Amino acid sequence: MWLLPLFCLLAPSLGSSPVRLLVEPPLRVWLRPPAEPRDARAVGTAWVTVPVDHFNPLDDRTYQMRYMYNEQFFNGTGAPIFIMVGGEWEISSGFLLTGNMFEMARENNGYLIYTEHRFYGRTQPFATHSTENLRYLNVDQALADLATFIGMLKDQPRFSTSPVVLVGGSYAGNMVLWFKQRYAHLVLGTVASSAPIKAEVDFTGYLTVVESAFRAEGGDACAAVLRDGIAATVAATETAEGRELLEQAFKICPPPSDPLDYSDKFTMGYFSGFITWTLSGQVQNARPAELRNLCTNLVNNVYGATPMESIGGLVTSGLSPGQCYEIRYEDYVNSYKNDAVSTGRAWYYQTCTEYAYFQIAPPTGSVFSPLSRWLNVEFYADLCKQAYDSRFDESFVRASVARSNRMFGGLRPDVNNTINIHGAIDPWHYLGVVDRELKESSPTYLVPRASHCFDLQPWQVTDTARMTQVQQAARRTVAAWLHEYYHK
């Protein structure tokens, strides 16, 4: 008799091993290094000493900023310098060994450099990421780091007359464009790939592009599975029977794990994010044909028999058999709250204090709209308050975003010699300029069927002819700037 309760307790945990759900919004972009870099021995690593605070003359603290370089093509004094500007990630050698900037250096006898952004990778001004220390993490300081770095290069006789070309993707795409605008005398020109130059709080456009990407690649039938699956999931939260089916579809752990707290709006925001962040991650990283294959599977019920089971099967496809998810908002908050050095904590801080980029569900007219009751600005801003400072509330975030747009011009930057490239299925293109040249000297390219930053990569068999053309156009334009520089 006494064995029975014990057995009952043991049975579920034998059948399913709990995994804490720890998903992140695709706010943070890691500029993936190209696959199969060639001879990594060509790349060296070095460090420079730069100020912690460029804007306070009484603060004389410094820190070590890392960079990598490859001089295999450099053919002597005055030849050009190509700098890949690092964003919110750790740098690695790949872009100094292959990719479109590498080709530019090859074609123009250039020196190749990759700089690391303060507070990311091994470039750490402080031992922790306390909110106090993070005061020195902002783009103004990071651009000043770059200006200092370029100034130091120019102090070397071999580089004193070298023109500098900056290349950057995603947030680092913003950086190169803003750098050219703010420190025009230090660079000849820049290539800004997939740059979301407008900061925005209510970033409904992100999921709007995710939906249209699924529709464009997989047709209305694919969008219908998403629409019906998401609507059914939200409807299922309303009834006891529905919740049981939902928990099966999304592999939520049975007791003794904590139940999914349907009454907590932030838990449900996190659950909503689990769905949308997983789907949008697929779009942001998709090469042509990948979304089409995913849609074929969705439409043919490969992930589940009903639309809700299809969504559940797709977003839980990372679990091994027998594993289940524990979904707790507290775990999500704690993963950002810890003061230890962390890329996720550093970047979310920048979103709270500079860009927001909150990927909320559009309130109406979208397959994601039923989630808008939870996946809203209040949800994203709550993490700003809980992880950093109670003063980081929604109005603080709105003021921060307004400041960024005022400082840099939002969608109306005033910048010459900047090549502005976007992908038509990249959800971030919504915050960039895609429909006009920035200036006569700053052309815009929107590449059909391309997603985030793929023009920086080396050629791949899946590249469309249009992608190859745009990469070549960027190289021709850079070569023309250099020709003019050397022959004027």
Ligand X SMILES: *[C@@H]1O[C@H](CO)[C@@H](O)[C@H](O)[C@H]1NC(C)=O
Minimum distance of ligand X from residue 456's CB (angstroms): 24
DSSP letter, residue 184? G
Residue 193 makes CB contacts below 8 A (sequence gap 6+) with 167, 168, 169, 170, 173, 421, 453, 455, 456
Give the residue at shortest CB distance from ligand X: 76
* Residue among 391 and 487 whose Cβ is closer to ligand X: 487
Q: How many residues does the chain have?
A: 488
Task: Give Cα separations from 227 to 210, 230, 295 (angstroms).
Answer: 13, 5, 13
Minimum distance of ligand X from residue 308's CB (angstroms): 53
Cα(104)–Cα(93) distance, integer angstroms: 16
Q: What are phi and psi of 220, to 5 degrees?
A: -65, -30
Per-residue string for binding with ligand X, 312-351, x by CB under 6 A?
Answer: ----------------------------------------
* Residue among 212 and 416 whose Cβ is closer to ligand X: 416
And the tokens for 365?
């007219």
And the tokens for 386?
């809980």
Is 76 one of the binding residues for ligand X (CB under 6 A)? yes
Edge-to-edge strand list for the sheet holding 43-51: 43-51, 62-70, 111-115, 81-85, 164-169, 189-193, 418-423, 444-447
Binding segment for ligand X (CB under 6 A), chosen from 75-83, 261-269, 301-309, 352-360, is: 75-83
Minimum distance of ligand X from residue 81's CB (angstroms): 14
And the tokens for 203?
């970033």
Q: What are phi and psi of 426, to 5 degrees?
A: -85, 120
User: Residue 84's closest CA among 344, 483, 457?
Assistant: 457
Minimum distance of ligand X from residue 439's CB (angstroms): 6
Q: Which of 10, 22, 152, 184 binds ligand X (CB under 6 A)?
A: 184
Is 11 one of the binding residues for ligand X (CB under 6 A)? no
Minimum distance of ligand X from residue 78's CB (angstroms): 8
Please say whether the dihedral angle defined by the alpha carbons of residues 442, 447, 451 and 456, taken in this order, is positive or negative: negative
* Residue among 39 and 414 whose Cβ is closer to ligand X: 414
Is 160 one of the binding residues for ligand X (CB under 6 A)? no
Binding segment for ligand X (CB under 6 A), chosen from 72-80, 198-206, 380-388, 450-458, is: 72-80
* Residue among 112 and 352 whose Cβ is closer to ligand X: 112
Q: Which of 32, 48, 106, 109 binds ligand X (CB under 6 A)?
A: 109
Q: Which of 45, 49, 75, 462 binds ligand X (CB under 6 A)?
A: 75
For ligand X, the binding residues in 408-447 under the rule CB under 6 A are 414, 416, 441
- Cα angle value 467/469/470 (rounded, 5°): 65
DSSP letter, residue 200? B
* Residue among 182 and 292 whose Cβ is closer to ligand X: 182
Minimum distance of ligand X from residue 442's CB (angstroms): 9
Please say whether the dihedral angle defined by the alpha carbons of residues 144, 409, 187 and 459, taken in this order, is positive or negative: positive
Binding segment for ligand X (CB under 6 A), chosen from 43-51, 73-81, 155-163, 356-364, is: 73-81
Q: What residue type is assigned to position 311 of the chain? A: I
* Residue among 67 and 111 whose Cβ is closer to ligand X: 111
Point out which residues bind ligand X (CB under 6 A): 75-76, 79, 109, 184, 414, 416, 441
